[in-house]
Amino acid sequence: MIYVTSDLHGYPFEKFRAMLESVSFSDDDFLFILGDVIDRGKDGIKILKWIMLQPNVELILGNHEAMMLACDFLFDEITDLTISDLTGTKLSIYSNWVANGGQPTLDALHSLRYKEIEYILDFLRDCPLYETLSVNGRDFILVHSGLGNFQWKKKLSDYTETELLWTRPGLTKRYYDDVTIIFGHTPTLYYDDKFTGKAVKTDTWIDIDTGAATGLSPMLLRLDDMKEFFLTNPNKQKSHNFSLWDFFI
């Protein structure tokens, strides 16, 4: 079976493992994670290191991983002194990452050896920006945020990193008629409260960021039969007392 999930950042690692166990995920299955496993919570690096050890799990790069890579200048030696010395563009890049939930990731990296950090950075640099696949005669494109500046005849390889990591399609956005785009990045409750903890589906795309960063269950979508799985019944999930803008990047 082939599963897809996205935007686990802030979600406890053990709950994520429990969700996989609930569908009897095994070595015979495959899982695509559509980016953003780090930041927002303390378990991001733990989840990332677990992914790196799984031969049947693939991480597609998310904008939060991209923000971490943009701060690679920090990691020769992560100290309060080196951070306090940042100026100009580097300070702006670092401040943007921390403002959007990067501090727990940075704290977790403090405890790692330099070679471990380099191994993680190299792994992220090798993560794809998208994947294409066919399952039971249905074609899919898996990407973190959708296709920005979409054009029918534009090759996937011609899309920029920004277009693949930072776009936010509106509900009326149409992509290909014969390929389903699956992405995360935009919490589904952004579209309407009725989507809280649930996927948003149109006839050309599916958004599966169901709000793990806000404490709701992430979603597992099984591509073989398009069945959805949650650790909690999505009909029983409730909105939390937070500002959506706190989790919007």
Length of the chain: 249
What are the pLDDT digits (tens) for 107-163?
A: 999 889 989 999 999 999 999 999 999 999 999 999 999 999 999 999 999 999 999
Asked whether residue 207 carries a pLDDT value surpassing 60, the answer given is: yes
What are the pLDDT digits (tens) for 168-203?
A: 999 999 999 999 999 999 999 999 999 999 999 999
Asked whether residue 236 carries a pLDDT value surpassing 70, the answer given is: no
Domains of the chain: 2-65+129-247 (3.60.21.10)
Pairing of strands 30-33, 57-59: parallel
Sign of the dihedral through C-alpha 152, 156, 160, 164: positive
Is residue 114 within a helix (H) or strand (E), and if so which, with residue range? helix 114-125
Residue 100 DSSP SS3: helix
pLDDT band of residue 228 (cuts 50, 70, 90) is very high
pLDDT band of residue 245 (cuts 50, 70, 90) is very low
Asked whether residue 233 carries a pLDDT value surpassing 70, the answer given is: no
What are the pLDDT digits (tens) for 69-119?
A: 999 988 876 666 567 778 899 999 999 999 999 999 999 998 899 899 999
The overall average pLDDT reported for the chain is 92
For residues 232, 233, 236, 241, the Cα torsion angle rounded to the nearest 10 degrees is: 40
Question: How wide is the angle at C-alpha 213 spanned by C-alphas 23 and 115, nearest 5°?
Answer: 85
Instruction: Give the pLDDT of residue 83.
Output: 73
Closest CA to 26 of 51, 54, 61, 52: 54
